């Protein structure tokens, strides 16, 4: 069963591991021991909404069940599950805070402790951010109605269930006005489990954790019993998909008026037809909320709700593109056991990696375009090489993304617009955030700041002025080191660049001095998973990564980000054999102009969506079916199917898959994946950093003449020492405060695995 086990233990032991520490027997009969108990819907210390699905395993010679919750008789809430021989009950009416379940079968008693939090949250993400703008009144339901006005300050709204059906004519789902009267054009579907049912979807919409959630599953209300954990819908294949949206910019201070990816359209409609359950939340859409810690908490609560409604899935999968890819990765790593595999594309390791590389790129552009700084006549072509990117447009497109770190609305910059990027645009707010709430250093200094740092302040912490701590640090970074050593820039250009590159202050202003990050904020960034580690839950599940977009010239979805994920996993776990990469896909021209899209590239994406998904699901099924004593990671590696291997596609209307280990390089042998789909890099890689791009604040070492292919004169040595008085980055060592993710880390109010509480001095 797919509850919330630790992926490091054998499944036979996992069954009771989560609850064993909280389970105690009291003196009673010597002949009948205490039952075993566990929470199926969540971890016992992280229950939400006042209910929990609990399982009791009766000992031998068991008599009648007795069960009480906080002294209240709840035995009638349990039913015998004939498939498992155990008693299952959805406990309701849990008090906020500590709760105690006591159960026996005529012998020794067992007690199970549960901690319940409000359905409005928070549990582990820290204090609710303010301001927060409700959008339930704007959230559209499939029948054209709205979810309704919020009923409280936490943006709650009544839960609604609607039924939809698919017509024999195809197309989108249609509202089913009367579930008792089935339309004549109702289509059937055969699920992946081989069950043929009417294509009727139950869509539930409600609120949790201040977001709007939806779950969807095949269910025929005319013939099926009302859904329950002991009577799951006949059309459900017992697998569950978490889906996440895209973006980041503007993702703060709102509930969200729409999902990032609808659970009932597009590829999710296909998955529903195959029998999968699907769940999502507006706060799992980074364009509504660019905070992976909040997304993880929301995912945990959403999965709990689905299990309490329909039962425990045999596997939970996560899918996402771009921002949905990094959300899948970060949630999986931070919460081991919540997902059994992730299927992602347009991949980044995390939103932070985009921001940090963008900030470096913006500094390079400042030097290039400022006459008083570019005193060595560095050319654009030279600076492109220093940036690591394929072209100036590619460099600028990523640098423009630094706007998500800048709180100053209306600021302009010399970064040129073009391609698919608009001009530099900092402090972006969703229109739902009133002007009166928005930060302005002069007119509204206490307003909400539109930056990644401020929205995740519960992790980053705040400075002495109450502003979110920034973890951009470029002390010791030798920009253009590779170009100095290969001769593409001169010594003078190298020195001028590093003398004048500067940094930023908390307001996003350029500074002559380099930026210095607080080591404690850096440490929390790693512990929380806001900087993806790869050694948590990702160590023990299949990660299937495809390009979907391949365009090294436009819009910052570059290949090196895929390799950054792989390298982080390899460094954390010894190898990245549970990470499979398929390369190839559409350009952004194809994406934004589908009527003229390249059919060969579209065909690649179609192959990934069918063949890739099939290989991924077989992989998950294979390791989940292994009941042997090996660790979950060993099972994942041992049960990988032959088709789940690295490779890329040829560009043709009938693309051919080329099995080949994927590496990051700009060139390769004729016909190789690196010739077909080359990879460029980023400024810190050119300065000596790893492709992992995960050293936030580097360790320093003394300047060593052996590191340079040129000889510096005494005067030049003095200039170099003035730029780097404490030394230069030693990228052969872990970064300052660099550590692994803390599994199930809390930032309050839960005291379990508490890393940091911003409310405490």
The closest of 486, 337, 266, 307 to 18, measured between CA atoms, is 337
Contact 32, 61 (CB under 8 A): yes
At 90 the three-state DSSP class reads: strand
Please report the pLDDT score of residue 30 as a whole number: 54
Pull the structure tokens for residue 708. 């340079």
Strands (E) located in 305-430: 315-321, 341-345
Q: Which residues pair with 510 in a beta bridge?
A: 504
Alpha-carbon distance of 580 to 531, in angstroms, equals 21
Please report the pLDDT score of residue 11 as a whole number: 27
The closest of 444, 322, 421 to 365, measured between CA atoms, is 421
Residue partners of 94: CB distance under 8 A and separation at least 6? 47, 50, 51, 52, 69, 114, 116
Please report the pLDDT score of residue 227 as a whole number: 96
Q: Any idea what DSSP says for residue 319?
A: E
Angle, CA of 66, 72 and 73, to the nearest 5°? 30
Please report the pLDDT score of residue 14 as a whole number: 31
Contact 44, 114 (CB under 8 A): yes
Distance of CA 470 to the CA centre of its chain: 20
Alpha-carbon distance of 543 to 578, in angstroms, equals 6
Peptide linkage before 443 cis (omega within 30 of 0): no
At 590 the three-state DSSP class reads: helix
CB count, 10 Å around CB of 445? Answer: 12
Q: Which residues pair with 504 in a beta bridge?
A: 510
Q: Which residues pair with 102 in a beta bridge?
A: 68, 111
Element (H, E) at 675: helix 673-676
Contact 342, 318 (CB under 8 A): yes
Alpha-carbon distance of 590 to 587, in angstroms, equals 5
At 193 the three-state DSSP class reads: coil
C-alpha dist (Å) from residue 491 to 333, 343, 365, 383, 496: 43, 46, 19, 14, 9
In total, the chain counts a number of residues equal to 761
Q: Does the model's pTM come out above 0.85?
A: yes
Peptide linkage before 749 cis (omega within 30 of 0): yes
Provide the residue ranges of all domains of the chain, joining segments of one domain with +. Answer: 11-117, 136-312, 352-526+697-729, 532-684
Residue-wise pLDDT for 289-348, tens only, equals 999 999 999 999 999 999 999 999 999 999 999 999 999 999 999 999 999 999 999 999
Residue partners of 4: CB distance under 8 A and separation at least 6? 18, 42, 43, 335, 337, 338
The closest of 506, 504, 502, 503 to 441, measured between CA atoms, is 506
Alpha-carbon distance of 164 to 268, in angstroms, equals 14
Pull the structure tokens for residue 715. 């005067």
Element (H, E) at 116: strand 109-117
C-alpha dist (Å) from residue 732 to 256, 376, 442, 699, 753: 43, 30, 44, 9, 31
Angle, CA of 164, 166 and 169, to the nearest 5°? 145
Alpha-carbon distance of 218 to 276, in angstroms, equals 8
332-337-342-346 Cα dihedral, nearest 10 degrees: 0
Dump the DSSP string for 290-325: --HHHHHHHHHHHHHHHHHHH---SEEEEEEETHHH
Q: In what order do the strands lie in the sheet with 277-281?
A: 174-175, 160-165, 200-208, 211-218, 277-281, 239-243, 315-321, 341-345, 543-549, 579-586, 647-649, 657-659
Q: Any idea what DSSP says for residue 225?
A: P
Report, at the CATH architecture level, how domain 11-117 is classified.
Sandwich (2.60)
The closest of 464, 453, 474, 473 to 519, measured between CA atoms, is 473
Question: What backbone torsions phi and psi does residue 269 show, to the nearest 5 degrees?
Answer: -65, -40
Please report the pLDDT score of residue 28 as a whole number: 43
Dump the DSSP string for 48-82: ETT-EEEEEEPPTT----EEEETTEE-GGGEEEET
Pull the structure tokens for residue 686. 């050119």
Please report the pLDDT score of residue 448 as a whole number: 98
Burial class (CB in 10 A: 0-12, 13-18, 19+), 126: buried
Pull the structure tokens for residue 718. 């003095």
CB count, 10 Å around CB of 221? Answer: 16
Contact 538, 718 (CB under 8 A): no
Please report the pLDDT score of residue 414 as a whole number: 96
Q: What is the mean pLDDT of each run of 10 residues along the chain (761 residues)?
A: 38 33 42 91 98 95 94 97 92 98 94 98 98 98 96 98 97 93 96 97 98 98 94 97 97 98 97 98 98 98 98 98 98 98 98 98 98 97 98 97 97 92 94 98 97 98 96 98 98 98 98 98 98 98 96 94 98 98 93 84 94 98 98 98 98 94 96 97 98 98 98 98 98 98 98 97 76
Alpha-carbon distance of 644 to 636, in angstroms, equals 11
Burial 363-400 (b: 16+ CB within 10 A, else e): bbbbbbeeeebbebebeeebbbbbbbbbbbbbbbbbbb
Residue-wise pLDDT for 28-69, tens only, equals 445 689 999 999 999 999 999 999 999 999 998 889 999 999
CB count, 10 Å around CB of 761? Answer: 3
How far is it between the farthest Cα atoms of the chain?
90
């Amino acid at each position: 069963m797919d509850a919330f086990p630790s992926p490091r233990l054998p499944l036979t032991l996992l069954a009771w591991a989560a609850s064993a520490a909280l389970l105690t027997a009291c003196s009673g009969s010597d002949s009948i021991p205490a039952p075993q108990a566990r929470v199926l819907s969540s971890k016992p210390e992280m229950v939400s909404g006042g209910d929990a699905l609990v399982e009791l395993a009766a000992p031998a010679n068991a008599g009648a069940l007795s069960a009480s919750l906080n002294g209240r008789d709840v035995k009638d809430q349990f039913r015998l599950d004939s498939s498992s021989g155990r008693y299952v009950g959805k406990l309701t009416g849990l008090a906020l805070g500590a709760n105690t379940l006591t159960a026996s079968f005529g012998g020794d008693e067992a007690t199970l402790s549960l901690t319940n939090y409000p359905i409005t949250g928070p549990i582990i993400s820290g204090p609710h951010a303010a301001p927060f703008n409700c959008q339930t009144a704007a959230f559209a339901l499939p029948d054209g109605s709205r979810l309704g006005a919020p009923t409280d300050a936490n943006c709650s709204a009544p839960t609604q269930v609607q039924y939809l059906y698919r017509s024999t004519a195809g197309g989108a789902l249609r509202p089913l006005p009367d579930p008792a009267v089935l339309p004549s054009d109702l289509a059937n579907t055969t699920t992946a489990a081989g069950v043929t049912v009417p294509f009727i979807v139950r869509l539930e919409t409600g609120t949790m954790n201040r977001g709007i959630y939806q779950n969807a599953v095949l269910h025929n209300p005319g013939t099926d019993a009302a859904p329950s954990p002991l009577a799951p819908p006949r059309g459900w294949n017992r697998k569950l998909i978490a889906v996440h949206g895209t973006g980041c910019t503007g993702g703060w201070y709102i509930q969200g008026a729409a999902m990032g990816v609808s659970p009932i359209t597009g590829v999710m409609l296909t998955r529903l037809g195959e029998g999968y359950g699907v769940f999502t939340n507006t706060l799992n859409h980074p364009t509504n909320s660019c905070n992976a810690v909040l997304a993880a908490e929301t995912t945990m609560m959403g999965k709990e709700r689905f299990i309490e409604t329909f039962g425990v899935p045999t596997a939970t999968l996560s899918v996402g593109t771009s921002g949905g890819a990094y959300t899948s990765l970060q949630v999986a790593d931070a919460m081991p056991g919540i997902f059994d595999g992730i299927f992602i594309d347009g991949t980044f390791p995390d939103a932070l990696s985009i921001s940090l590389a963008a900030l470096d790129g913006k500094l390079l552009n400042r030097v290039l375009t400022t006459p008083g700084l570019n005193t060595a006549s560095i050319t654009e072509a030279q600076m492109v090489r220093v940036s690591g990117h394929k072209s100036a447009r590619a460099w600028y497109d990523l640098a423009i993304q630094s706007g998500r770190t800048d709180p100053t609305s209306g600021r302009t910059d010399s970064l040129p617009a073009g391609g698919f990027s608009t001009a530099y645009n900092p402090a972006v707010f969703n229109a739902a955030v009133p002007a009166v709430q928005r930060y302005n250093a002069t007119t509204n200094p206490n307003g909400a700041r539109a930056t990644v740092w401020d929205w995740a302040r519960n992790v980053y912490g705040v400075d002495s002025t109450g502003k979110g701590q920034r973890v951009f640090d470029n002390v010791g970074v030798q920009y253009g080191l590779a170009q100095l050593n290969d001769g593409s820039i001169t010594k003078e250009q190298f020195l001028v660049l590093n003398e004048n590159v500067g940094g930023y202050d908390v307001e996003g202003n350029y500074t002559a001095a380099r930026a210095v990050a607080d080591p404690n904020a850096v440490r929390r960034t790693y512990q929380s998973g806001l900087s993806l580690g790869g050694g948590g839950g990702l160590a023990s599940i299949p990660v299937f990564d495809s390009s979907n977009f391949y365009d090294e010239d436009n819009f910052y979805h570059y290949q090196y980000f895929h390799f950054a994920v792989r390298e982080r996993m390899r460094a954390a776990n010894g190898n990245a054999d549970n990470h499979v990469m398929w390369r190839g896909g559409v350009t952004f021209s194809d994406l934004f102009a589908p009527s003229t899209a390249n059919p060969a590239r579209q065909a690649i994406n179609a192959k990934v969506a069918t063949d890739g998904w099939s290989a991924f699901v077989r992989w998950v099924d294979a390791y989940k079916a292994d009941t042997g004593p090996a660790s979950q990671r060993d099972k994942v590696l041992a049960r990988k199917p032959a088709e789940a291997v690295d490779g890329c596609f040829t560009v043709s209307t009938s693309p051919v898959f080329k099995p080949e280990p994927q590496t990051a390089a700009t060139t390769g042998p004729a016909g190789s994946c690196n010739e077909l789909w080359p990879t460029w890099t980023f400024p810190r890689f050119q300065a000596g950093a790893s492709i992992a791009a995960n050293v936030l604040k580097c360790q320093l070492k003394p300047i060593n003449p052996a590191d340079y292919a040129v000889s510096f004169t005494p005067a030049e040595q003095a200039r170099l020492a003035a730029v780097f008085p404490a030394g230069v980055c030693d990228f052969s060592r872990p970064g300052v405060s660099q550590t692994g993710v803390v599994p199930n880390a809390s930032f309050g109010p839960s005291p379990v695995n508490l890393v940091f509480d911003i409310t405490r001095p």
